[in-house]
Amino acid sequence: MLILGLETSCDETGVALYDTDRGLLAHALFSQIDIHVEYGGVVPELASRDHVRKTLPLLEEVMTEAGVTAKDIDGVAYTAGPGLVGALMVGATLARSLAWGWGVPALGVHHMEGHLLAPMLEEKHPEFPFVALLVSGGHTQLVRVDGIGEYKLLGESLDDAAGEAFDKVAKMLGLPYPGGPQVAKLAAEGDSDRFDFPRPMVNRPGLDFSFSGLKTFTLNTVDDCKIDGVLAPQDRADIARAFEDAVVSTLTIKCRRALKQEGLKTLVMAGGVSANLSLRAALKEALAKERAEVFYPAPQFCTDNGAMIAYAGAQRLAAGQADDDGAAVRPRWPMDQLPPIEAA
């Protein structure tokens, strides 16, 4: 089956073509960073309008690159949630219209399931079962995965997601949007021995996270270091390093705990924060001691992209799942509500 995938959940427009026999044929992505940077975050109305402008040109680009026409496509997958409702509606409306016009099924895909399955796009990919760390601007979750649609939530953030905390700390340090990559870049210049930030909730049982207290601790440190309201460049770098180290350490401790609890040796890390090089290195080192292995997508597939939606949609469409007439976008959508592949 050749599946077209559309991703429009937030501030990136992604389009891809995935073939269940040949793999990923082509993909394209447009990021709206330049549009939202002056506002310091995503403006939902501007995001929706830009998806309207960019989706069809990207679709034409991808189909041309893959050398396919509409008659070759067997199904259309799109992000149905979670996400910004206006942005989701752009992708859903286009996807279902194309599917109706082409006479093929359409299927709304869960955004986080797309992230969770993104490592499957790599030549070396994990086998079920595994523990997944989903870590992005909107989510920080540990999930046991026994198959597609067979998910058990093990723990999640009780407040800010890790990516959200990165963005907020970036603002404290006067860094531009998007904050996560900027904090990581600045942290590379920092002294890891200067500050010792807390590792939230690691000394209590369970697999939940909390980053709001760490965010407050960071803000207090910023205020303490300011002289006449100004933060020195080295202070900024040292604070960024201490914050990143605390987040990385916290995530690593909880991942090891989750694997031990579930008796598994395979971890999948996905979502925008999974591109963080310090986190990748820490997990690889820590899990090697446990004789466990970590898998993650290529950097280009860590952030939102059409390839992950095309892949996830292809698995479910191939199993016979498809939208019915009552399908709708879902800005909030618990992943444990998804049916397993076998239920098709």
Binding site members: 111, 115, 134-138, 167, 180, 276, 304
**DSSP-derived secondary structure for 317-331:** HHTT----TT----S
**Binding annotation for substrate:** 134-138, 167, 180, 276
d(CA 292, CA 280): 14
Q: How far apart are the first and last CA of the chain?
A: 17
303 backbone dihedrals φ, ψ, rounded to 5°: -80, 175
What residues have CB less than 8 Å from 250, skipping those under 6 apart?
199, 200, 201, 202, 209, 211, 214
Angle at 98 between CA 34 and CA 303, to 5 degrees: 35
325 backbone dihedrals φ, ψ, rounded to 5°: -65, -20
Q: Which amino acid is at 18?
A: Y
Q: Which letter does DSSP use for residue 116 in this model?
A: H
**Binding annotation for Fe cation:** 111, 115, 304
* H helical segments located in the chain: 33-36, 44-66, 85-102, 111-117, 162-172, 179-187, 212-225, 233-262, 277-289, 306-318
